[in-house]
């Protein structure tokens, strides 16, 4: 109840205001579920250590909801899942744990759509998908979200909405991986990839710009396509694009280790500063960050690796190092707006965001 935000897009003041107005009551007491008309389940569905879908957080949450579920309640799942999970896995758990018949409560699915730090597209104006086990569930979910979201699209089945989420982020993984590979092609030709993308972006149809990076991170883009690929394998469908995109994404940090070695004629004993360790600029979120693979790879070849990120500050038992001229090379991995690279002096900079 301290009213402190751990989300960049949500201020402490907004939390404190809603707590004072009794609109927001944070609690770890699952018993309040029995007093609720609408219950949203928004827990992580990450990958396991062997890069397989991990539903452990979701299953635990659904069981807790089921134990406390009362008739007439609307349960909405927002976590990313494979098609069929709501109907075949989560609904039976809710029925079993609650002792209710499946028609005595409503189950809906509405995949999360949040782009942190995006000021143009917020929770209020980003279109929302809803689907339900029954038409009543769909209507109830639409009515709930309609109170604060401008545009809502109803899907004809739970499976349509589940799969739409996987398609959205698989599309992004494939295209980001492609542009990262395309960046290597442009560098080999001595062409500025950013200028190429800018030129191609003048086409008003059939093209959408994606930009080079150290690889994709966060809780969605590197994870959701693996859920899709896993479901496709079960269904006996090919996933060659996703498999290749995932492979390219995993290899990009290694490419920049090679680049760094070329610049310094070897990395053993060299002092390397990696700038930005979060998965996205201007965030402190390090989930699935590709920078971790870059740092581990640099250490494996004998480099002395330091990192700077004043938004993250502490990570993997290490502290953020100051920007200074006391390094052999700086690798710009995640360019936060606050960065003042002039503090590096004459230290050469390897820019992972499209430099030749």
For the annotated catalytic residues, the residue numbers are 220
Helices vs strands, H then E, count in the chain: 10, 11
Q: Which two tokens stand for residue 267?
A: 């990395």
- In sign, the C-alpha dihedral spanning 332, 184, 212, 219 is negative
Quote the CA–CA distance of 110 and 76 in Å, as a whole number: 7
Q: Which two tokens stand for residue 276?
A: 């930005």
Residue 274 backbone phi and psi in degrees, to 5: -95, 125
- In sign, the C-alpha dihedral spanning 95, 99, 104, 106 is negative
Whether the CB-CB separation of 109 and 127 falls below 8 Å is answered with no
Quote the CA–CA distance of 116 and 327 in Å, as a whole number: 32
Whether the CB-CB separation of 352 and 275 falls below 8 Å is answered with no
Strands 152-154 and 314-315: unpaired
């Amino acid at each position: 109840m301290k009213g402190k935000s751990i989300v960049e897009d949500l201020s402490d003041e907004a939390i404190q205001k809603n707590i004072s107005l009794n609109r927001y009551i944070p609690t770890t007491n699952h018993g309040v579920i029995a007093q609720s008309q609408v219950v949203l389940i928004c827990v992580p569905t990450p990958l396991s250590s062997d890069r397989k879908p991990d539903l452990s957080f979701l299953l635990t949450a659904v069981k807790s909801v089921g134990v406390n579920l009362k008739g007439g309640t609307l349960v909405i799942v927002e976590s990313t899942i494979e098609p069929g999970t709501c109907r075949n896995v989560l609904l039976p758990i809710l029925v079993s744990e609650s002792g209710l018949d499946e028609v005595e409560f409503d189950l809906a699915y509405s995949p999360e759509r949040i782009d942190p730090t995006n000021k143009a597209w917020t929770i209020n104006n980003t279109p929302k998908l809803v689907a339900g086990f029954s038409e009543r569930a769909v209507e109830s979910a639409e009515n709930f979200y309609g109170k604060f979201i401008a545009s809502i699209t109803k899907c004809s089945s739970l499976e349509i909405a589940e799969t739409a989420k996987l398609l959205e982020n698989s599309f992004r993984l494939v295209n980001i991986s492609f542009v990262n590979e395309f960046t290597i092609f442009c560098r080999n030709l001595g062409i500025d990839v950013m200028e190429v993308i800018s030129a191609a972006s003048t086409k008003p149809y059939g093209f959408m710009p994606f930009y080079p990076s150290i690889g994709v991170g966060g809780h969605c883009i590197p994870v959701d396509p693996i859920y899709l690929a896993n479901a496709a394998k079960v269904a006996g469908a090919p996933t060659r694009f996703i498999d290749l995109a995932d492979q390219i994404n995993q290899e990009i940090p290694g490419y920049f280790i090679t680049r760094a070695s070329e610049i310094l004629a070897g990395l053993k004993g060299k002092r390397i500063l990696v700038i930005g360790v979060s998965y996205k600029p201007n965030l402190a979120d390090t989930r699935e960050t590709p920078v971790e693979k870059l740092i581990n790879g640099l250490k494996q070849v004998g480099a002395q690796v330091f990192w700077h990120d004043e938004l993250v500050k502490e990570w993997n038992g290490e502290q953020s190092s100051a920007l200074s001229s006391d390094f052999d090379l700086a690798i710009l991995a995640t360019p936060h707006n606050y960065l003042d690279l002039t503090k590096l002096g004459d230290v050469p900079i390897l820019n992972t965001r499209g430099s030749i």
